């Protein structure tokens, strides 16, 4: 259908993406403009009581550009397990048919225990080229300080490298629990094949404080790593 108007619209985008709307308009054999929508890229379980997707977007309007494989939302609210947690007047992201592209990744919320309170992580993925990418993850907590995580990866014709770092602030540090402290870390690894039998590379594991990555607040989030992809 090149052009048309629909009421009670629903669509399957890619393998798992689902979009429902009160009404929609199709134009130029390319654009779908829908209003009062709910969208999720997550697979929905068919079991009773488990049909709420991990995350979804509710918005006043969405425009789906099938040629550029792009979704553009207006007046959007993000919900995690059905609970709204973030509002934005404008949001754009690739549709589920795109294998990789820059954009927000799935947010994460949870508890850090009695001392750390609760946290939310909002990772952003930046696709720099087919062989380079960067992920930036702000992590905010209610009482355990805040962290900014970053991960850079690059593949070369004869090898690849990976770097991961973070910087964190803790307003309740020190023996007294009242000192403002800054922590950081840098992990990395790289390998290059210079001949059929010789390989060069590096490994790095550096922290500003011996106890930083052992801390309950940050250790579980920072202590993950992927060397190559």
Structure confidence at residue 208 (pLDDT): 87
Q: What is the pTM of this model?
A: 0.61
What average pLDDT does the chain have? 81
What is the distance in angstroms between the CA of the first residue and the CA of the last residue of the chain?
Answer: 40
Q: What confidence score (pLDDT) does residue 50 get?
A: 59
pLDDT of residue 17: 80
CA angle (220 as vertex; 145, 207 as ends), nearest 5: 70
- The Cβ-side half-sphere exposure at 126, using a 13 Å CA radius, reads 10
Side-chain half-sphere exposure of 12, counting CA atoms within 13 A = 5
| pLDDT tens digits, 198-216 | 999 999 999 888 777 765 4
Tell me the domains of the chain and their CATH numbers.
Answer: 1-97 (2.60.450.10), 100-229 (no CATH)
Tell me the pLDDT tens digit for each residue of 81-133.
888 888 999 988 888 888 778 877 877 888 776 666 788 888 998 988 889 99
Q: What is the DSSP letter of 52?
A: S
Q: pLDDT, tens digit, for every residue of 3-52? A: 777 777 777 777 778 888 988 898 888 898 999 999 988 776 555 555 67
d(CA 109, CA 211): 24
Q: Give the pLDDT of residue 101.
A: 81
Mean pLDDT lowest for which of 75-89, 136-150, 173-187?
173-187
């Amino acid at each position: 259908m090149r052009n048309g108007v629909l009421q009670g619209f629903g669509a399957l985008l890619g393998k798992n993406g689902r979009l429902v709307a009160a009404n929609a308009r199709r134009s130029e054999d390319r654009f779908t403009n829908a209003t009062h929508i709910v969208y999720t890229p997550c697979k929905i379980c068919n079991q009773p009581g488990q049909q709420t997707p991990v995350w979804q977007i509710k918005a006043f309007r969405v425009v789906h550009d099938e040629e550029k494989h792009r979704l553009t939302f207006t007046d959007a609210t993000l919900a995690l397990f059905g609970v709204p947690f973030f509002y934005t007047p404008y949001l754009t992201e690739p549709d589920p048919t795109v294998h990789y592209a820059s954009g927000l990744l799935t947010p994460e919320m949870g508890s850090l225990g009695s001392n750390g309170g609760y946290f939310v992580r909002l990772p952003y993925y930046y696709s720099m080229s087919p062989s380079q990418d960067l992920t930036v993850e702000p992590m905010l907590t209610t009482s355990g300080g805040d962290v900014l995580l970053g991960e850079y990866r690059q593949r070369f014709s004869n090898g690849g490298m990976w770097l991961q770092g973070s910087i964190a602030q803790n307003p309740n540090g020190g023996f007294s629990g009242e000192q403002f402290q800054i922590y950081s870390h840098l992990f990395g690894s790289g390998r290059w094949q210079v001949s059929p039998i010789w390989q060069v590379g590096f490994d790095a594991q550096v922290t500003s404080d011996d106890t930083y990555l052992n801390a309950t607040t940050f250790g579980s989030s920072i202590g993950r790593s992927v060397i190559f992809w």
